[in-house]
Amino acid sequence: MSHRPVVTRIAPSPTGYMHIGTARTALFNWLFARHHGGTFLLRIEDTDRERSTSQATAAILRGMTWLGLDWDGEAVSQFDQKDRHAAVAHEMLARGAAYKCFASQDEIEVFREAATAEKRSTLYRSPWRDAAPATHPDARYVIRMKAPQTGDTVIDDAVQGRVTFRNDLLDDMIVLRSDGTPTYMLAVVVDDHDMGVTHVIRGDDHLQNAARQTMVYDAMGWDIPVWAHIPLIFGPDGKKLSKRHGATGVEEYQAMGYPAAGMRNYLTRLGWSHGDDEFFTTDQAKEWFNLEGIGRAPARLDFKKLENLCGQHIAASDDAALLHELEAYLAVTDAPPLNDVQRDTLSRALYCLKDRAKTFPDLIEKAEFSLNARPVIPDDAAAKTLDPVSRSILKTLTPQLQTGTWTKETLEPFLTDAAAAHGIGFGKLAGPLRAALAGRTATPSVYDMMLVLGKDETIARLNDAAT
Residues in binding site for ATP: 243
Q: How far is the CB of 88 from RNA (least distance, A)?
A: 15
Please report, to the nearest 10 degrees, the dihedral formed by the alpha carbons of residues 26, 31, 33, 34 taken in order.
130
What is the number of other CB atoms lying within 10 angstroms of the CB of residue 286?
18
- Mask 404-443, x = binds RNA (CB under 7 A)? --------x------------xxx--xx--x------xxx
Q: 166 pairs with which residues across the strands?
A: 152
Closest of 378, 389, 395, 383 to residue 438, by C-alpha? 378
Q: Does 100 contact RNA by CB under 7 A?
A: no
Q: Please enumerate, by residue number, every residue annotated as part of a binding site.
A: 243
Does the active-site annotation cover 354? Answer: no
Interface with RNA (CB under 7 A), residue from 121, 281, 396, 400 = 121
Give, as ranges, the residues between 258 and 287 that touch RNA (CB under 7 A).
269-273, 275-276, 278
- Mask 370-409, x = binds RNA (CB under 7 A)? ----------------------------------------
Q: Does 256 contact RNA by CB under 7 A?
A: no
Q: How far is the CB of 337 from RNA (least distance, A)?
A: 26
Three-state secondary structure of 329-360: HHHHCCCCCCCHHHHHHHHHHHHHHHHHCCCH
Give, as ranges, the residues between 44 and 63 that touch RNA (CB under 7 A).
45, 47-48, 51
Rounded Cα gap, residues 320 and 324, in angstroms: 6
Q: Are residues 50 and 36 in contact, defined by beta-carbon separation less than 8 angstroms?
A: no
CA 424 to chain centre: 51
* DSSP secondary structure letters along 18-49: -BHHHHHHHHHHHHHHHHTT-EEEEEE----T
Rounded Cα gap, residues 433 and 390, in angstroms: 9
Q: Does 446 contact RNA by CB under 7 A?
A: yes
Rounded Cα gap, residues 117 and 465, in angstroms: 79
Give, as ranges, the residues between 164 and 223 that touch RNA (CB under 7 A).
164-166, 169, 174, 177-179, 183-185, 204-209
Q: How far is the CB of 205 from RNA (least distance, A)?
A: 3
Closest to RNA by CB, 307 or 327: 307
Q: How far is the CB of 156 from RNA (least distance, A)?
A: 12
Q: Which of 146, 239, 243, 286 is catalytic?
A: 243
DSSP helix/strand/coil, 278: coil
What is the number of other CB atoms lying within 10 angstroms of the CB of residue 143?
25
Q: Does 103 contact RNA by CB under 7 A?
A: yes
Closest to RNA by CB, 164 or 405: 164
Q: Which stretch binds RNA (CB under 7 A): 2-10, 89-97, 246-254, 303-311?
A: 303-311
Interface with RNA (CB under 7 A), residue from 297, 380, 405, 467 = 297
Rounded Cα gap, residues 97 and 89, in angstroms: 9
Strands 7-10 and 39-44, sheet pairing: parallel
Interface with RNA (CB under 7 A), residue from 36, 90, 112, 384 = 112
Q: How far is the CB of 454 from RNA (least distance, A)?
A: 17
Q: Are residues 63 and 260 in contact, defined by beta-carbon separation less than 8 angstroms?
A: no
Closest to RNA by CB, 339 or 410: 410
Give, as ranges, the residues between 313 and 352 that touch RNA (CB under 7 A).
none
Interface with RNA (CB under 7 A), residue from 39, 57, 78, 370 = 78
Q: Which stretch binds RNA (CB under 7 A): 28-36, 56-64, 90-98, 236-244?
A: 236-244
Rounded Cα gap, residues 257 and 153, in angstroms: 46
Q: How far is the CB of 371 from RNA (least distance, A)?
A: 16
Active-site positions read 243
